[in-house]
Amino acid sequence: MTEPPSRVCVLGSVNVDTTYRVPQIPALGETVLAVQRTVAPGGKGANQAVAAANMGSRVTFIGCTGSDPEAELAIASLVRHDVDVSQLRAVTDAPTGTAVLIVDERGENVIVVDAGANQRLDPALVSAHLSSTSYDVVLAQLEINLDAVVSAATSRGSAAFILNPAPMKADHGTFRDLLAQTDVLVPNRPELARLAGRPLPTDQDALDRCVGQLEFGGVVVVTLGSAGVAVYERGPARRPTLIEAVRVESVDTTGAGDTFCGVLGHFMAQHGDVTRAACQANEMAALSTTVYGAQVPAGLFTSSGPRPASAAPDRLT
Ligand code: RIB
């Protein structure tokens, strides 16, 4: 008998990304010429929804757009990936979120976001929907208004709540209430450092200290880019399981963290084993960097994928 699809709700941003490909990221005060410019759907929330849907979850997206051509482009992509957009609202007095991305020859990027309508999500609508619909996993980021995220965390019922604290603006004092409602926290290194109020961790001990500083009782999954992933499961020992990076020919790392979160959400909904889910997400996130754009085509995820590298580096940079 086939298993029913896992049910994932993603609450988050939906943007239109303008990407400039450049030989190298410009230094302060420097001007560089782009070799290519593309306009494509993005937004951390939408990217994560697409990744979970690509894996086979039934995904509902909660978000807010403007009433403009950008909204049409962004929504068309969600619909194409079979994401349920019935909880996506449009406002008339704010534009759809947009982002400018600069991607260098190694696939590394810098991003600036104008959140626009993403900051206009109504917390009451969020809680009304989540109180009346059950999910296996609710997944959120911080590119939308914080009260909507808190509303999702407190009204998710029996669903596991996964928080990707991106972008991270403050330390954990601001997010104390939200963290108390969170089952799985998925920061990258800078986000973890910011949350912990500590310097950027560059070795394992520093990483452990940052996680300890959070005083967070749930699972912490730290994405480390080329150094892989560290999973701190619940419990007193708090020693991480290290998952090796997957070596691929990366052309664009944009949205790799989003793919990781979406795939993690899918597998958490499916089997609930966070370390196993993180291994699976790690493979798919690596694979996503072999193509351009933040929302990867569904077909990419049906391939067998690359194998893990043999050793994780000592340093985390
Ligand atoms: O994580 C990548 C995403 O960040 C981009 O799609 C951009 O829109 C910003 O939200």
Domains and CATH numbers, the chain: 7-25+34-310 (3.40.1190.20)
Give the range among 119-128, 149-158, 248-257 with minimum mean pLDDT: 248-257
| Residue 281 near ligand 1, beta carbon < 6 Å | no
Residue nearest to atom 9 of ligand 1 (CA): 43
Residue nearest to atom 8 of ligand 1 (CA): 43
Q: How far is CA 131 from the centre of its chain?
A: 24
Distance 296 CA to ligand 1 centre (A): 13
Of 152, 168, 183, 137, whose CA–CA distance to 12 is shortest? 152
Look over the chain and give the mean of its residue pLDDT values, rounded to a whole number.
91
pLDDT at 220 (0 to 100): 97
- Please state, in angstroms and rounded to a whole number, the distance separating the CA atoms of residues 90 and 88: 7
Burial of 86 (0-12, 13-18, 19+ CB in 10 A): exposed
pLDDT at 236 (0 to 100): 65
- Please state, in angstroms and rounded to a whole number, the distance separating the CA atoms of residues 240 and 281: 17
- How confident is residue 176, by pLDDT bands cut at 50, 70 and 90? confident
Percent of the chain clearing pLDDT 70 (strictly above): 93
> What are 73-94's pLDDT values in tens digits?
999 999 999 999 999 999 999 9
Mean pLDDT of 165-192: 90
Active site residue 258: yes
Q: Residue 220 has which token pair?
A: 């912490």
- Please state, in angstroms and rounded to a whole number, the distance separating the CA atoms of residues 88 and 49: 12
Cis peptide before 23 (omega within 30 of 0): no
Residue nearest to atom 2 of ligand 1 (CA): 255
> What are 128-140's pLDDT values in tens digits?
999 999 999 999 9
| Residue 282 near ligand 1, beta carbon < 6 Å | no
DSSP annotation of 205 reads: H
Q: How far is CA 227 from the centre of its chain?
A: 18
Task: Determine how β-strand 219-223 pairs with β-strand 184-185.
Answer: parallel
| Residue 14 near ligand 1, beta carbon < 6 Å | no
pLDDT at 259 (0 to 100): 97
What strand order describes the sheet that includes 137-140? 84-90, 58-65, 7-11, 137-140, 160-163, 184-185, 219-223, 229-232, 241-243
Residue nearest to atom 1 of ligand 1 (CA): 255
> What are 91-124's pLDDT values in tens digits?
999 999 999 999 999 888 999 999 999 999 999 9
| Residue 42 near ligand 1, beta carbon < 6 Å | yes
| HSE-CB of 173 using CA atoms within 13 angstroms | 3
Distance 123 CA to ligand 1 centre (A): 22
Percent of the chain clearing pLDDT 90 (strictly above): 82
pLDDT at 301 over 90: no
What strand order describes the sheet that includes 97-103? 36-42, 15-21, 97-103, 109-114
Please give the model's pTM, rounded to 2 decimal places.
0.93
| HSE-CB of 29 using CA atoms within 13 angstroms | 0
Distance 303 CA to ligand 1 centre (A): 24
Mean pLDDT of 231-235: 90
pLDDT at 302 (0 to 100): 57
- Atom nearest to 254 CA in ligand 1: 2
Distance 209 CA to ligand 1 centre (A): 29
| Residue 99 near ligand 1, beta carbon < 6 Å | yes
Of 286, 290, 258, 314, whose CA–CA distance to 53 is shortest? 258
Give the range among 58-62, 119-123, 170-174, 255-259 with minimum mean pLDDT: 170-174
